Amino acid sequence: MADVSVPCWDAVDVEELCEEAELIAFDLDSTLARSKKPMKDDMANIFSILTSLIDVAVITGGKYALLQSQVVDRLTGQANRSKLHLMPTSGTRYYRWDGRRWTLVFAHDLSDEERAKAKESLERNAREQGIWSDYAWGERIEDRGSQITFSALGQSAPIEAKEAWDPTDEKKRRLARAVAAELPELEVRPGGASSVDISQRGVDKSFAVRELADILGMEVGRIVFIGDRMEPGGNDYPAAMAGTRAVKVTGPADTVRLCDEIVACLSR
């Protein structure tokens, strides 16, 4: 399949982007917020307004608890939770608001054997490649049920350390290739700034947007997907390959400016 060219946020025609859009989907880290940090006030405000105008999804490699602290807990009184779709762990889980609480719609969990193999392969290959740090801030390998995540510096590492660890993504991609060769039955991909994620085969952000479109009865092409890692090999790129109207940002500041324009367009 040929590569997809994803335009930057400031090069898209927002009027045309919104014309047939039925859902706006977002990556989380480095798109709505910095890694593990809650959305800032300007983002929380415009994001909440957006949910009052159109269906909105957040599809992230992070676990559900992070979606809660980074997004849900930052919603303002203008938010319409019934229009918000939460898909943590790269879309392997899906939560909806039922009027009182967030409920699990589906989960594609790994088996005990698959999780054990994933953990062993990640640690052994990371050690062999010299990227198993002597010191880490929290867990290096986290079992999220439907996803195993390797964090080179630990789950709680400072943002600055994470972003400086692998600026070219080469370390993550090398580790992902080695583990994928040993676990061909599983999906292994670079994740955030310093992580590698493992889930069921074929369950990634491409799967997530297709599944969401099917559940909501819309075409994938009517989903706008906004993310920062939109190059081939990036963890947002599968959403572009699935046929969404993909848009690239370089950080939350870009996303706020783009959402300002989208809200203005949808409000007219």
Tell me if 250 is assigned to a ligand binding site: no
Written as one letter, the residue type at 248 is K
To the question of whether residue 55 is assigned a binding role by annotation, the answer is no
29 is in an annotated binding site: yes
Q: Which two tokens stand for residue 25?
A: 């989907």
> Is 228 annotated among the ligand-binding residues?
yes
Tell me which residues are annotated as active site.
27, 29
244 is in an annotated binding site: yes
Of 143, 191, 198, nearest to 171 by C-alpha is 191
φ and ψ of 197, to 5 deg: -115, 145
Q: In 33-184, which ranges are continuous DSSP H helix? A: 41-51, 64-70, 112-128, 159-165, 170-182
Instruction: Tell how strand 245-248 and strand 186-190 pair up.
Output: unpaired
Q: What are phi and psi of 95, to 5 degrees?
A: -120, 140
Q: Which amino acids are annotated as binding site, given as ranges?
A: 27, 29, 144, 195, 197, 228, 244
Q: Which amino acids are annotated as binding site for alpha-D-mannose 1-phosphate, given as ranges?
A: 144, 195, 197
Q: Which amino acids are annotated as binding site for Mg(2+), given as ranges?
A: 27, 29, 228, 244
